Amino acid sequence: MVKDLRDFDRQDMEDLIAELREPKYRSNQLFQWVHKHGAELVDEMTNLPLSLRSKIRERADIFHPKVLEKLTSKKDNTIKMLLEFSDGETVESVIMPNEAKKRCTVCVSTQVGCPVGCPFCASGSSGFIRNLRTGEIVSQVLIAKSMEKDETWKVTNVVFMGMGEPLLNYDAVLKSVRILNDPLGLNIGQRKITISTAGYVPGILKLAEEKLQVVLAVSLHSVENEVRDFLVPLNKKYPLEELAWALKEYSKKSGRRITFEYSLIEGLNDTIECAEKLAAFVSQFKANVNIIPLNPVDEFGFKRSSSSKIQNFAAVLRNKGVETSVREERGLDIEGACGQLRLRYLQ
């Protein structure tokens, strides 16, 4: 079976070149073509001999996803893409430029569909199909990188916040982090990489052992088990008490602060009392809260909280000493909710 070179990290490249009985330095050249220059064909690798390129093609190739749809926001230049892989499965990827600061964040998916099934999120509405391979994750960033030549921005940040639960695809996610961070590749700093989780405790504990400098973002949305059971069904298996214990272990072993993501939903989790309970929960950790105005999906029936409620909620947290930010809304005019573009395509 032909392998995808984008699945290969530096060690994999060295192993391949050794197997082909070629000089070791060729592995670094190969790595740079694949993971820095974003080559889509082996024959683009002009500093590799034709004979070597031929031998590589016998064992591996580059599987580049097809861009089925690309929407650009007229309001903030956010780019949302629907990508199709070689087996016909699709995911979304989002590019969020900040022209003023000449930087760009890429939001990548880690699974086709999502097994967590949060009722306000379109990602899991069609069920879970499969995990993405490392190369399929890395490709999302390389596609964004390929757009730099026509833009003022550079890819500086990657957030694993697209479709899927990253910690349920642990090995592929961790390998993609190491590839993206590699100095011979895109060299994206670990502190500029965010891994989100809905609260998968075994994955959090495993990540704690890696001693990485990445940002861990926990999709919290409520600090009451009954409400969180509904909003984040994974909470039924790993309730808040267990999640809190795992996060304390993570903080202790990694030395990193935690970001709590909190989507405000009208009438469910947006009262002053909810804010006070959230502040009490967060006070256990070295952490900050990122409040997310809900991107509503019409079919789901959830409504975003009013602007005044969002500001009042944030004010309560700040008055309690919690470092709080309200996420800038991006891509509202291009089906900004996660999974929304793919859902329309599948329908």
Give the residue numbers marked as catalytic: 92, 338
| Nearest-angstrom CA–CA distance, 92 and 106 | 11
Residue 167 three-state SS:
helix
Q: Which residues contact 50 (CB under 8 A, 6 or more apart)?
A: none
Number of alpha carbons in the 13 Å side-chain half-sphere of residue 250: 30
CA distances from 215 to 144, 212, 257, 260, 288 (A): 21, 9, 8, 11, 11
Q: Which residues contact 140 (CB under 8 A, 6 or more apart)?
A: 65, 83, 91, 93, 106, 108, 109, 162
Residue 294 three-state SS:
coil
Assigned token pair, 25:
């330095």
Q: In Å, how far from its chain's centre is CA 58? A: 32
| Nearest-angstrom CA–CA distance, 302 and 332 | 16
| Nearest-angstrom CA–CA distance, 279 and 318 | 9
**3-state SS of 76-133?**
CCCEEEEEECCCCCEEEEEEEEEHHHCEEEEECCCEEECCCCCCCCHHHCCCEEEECC
The H-or-E segment that residue 17 falls in is: helix 10-19
| Nearest-angstrom CA–CA distance, 67 and 71 | 11
Tell me the β-bridge partners of 218.
197, 260
* Contact yes or no for 328/113 (Cβ under 8 A): no
| Nearest-angstrom CA–CA distance, 82 and 346 | 11
CA distances from 42 to 38, 135, 157 (A): 11, 15, 27
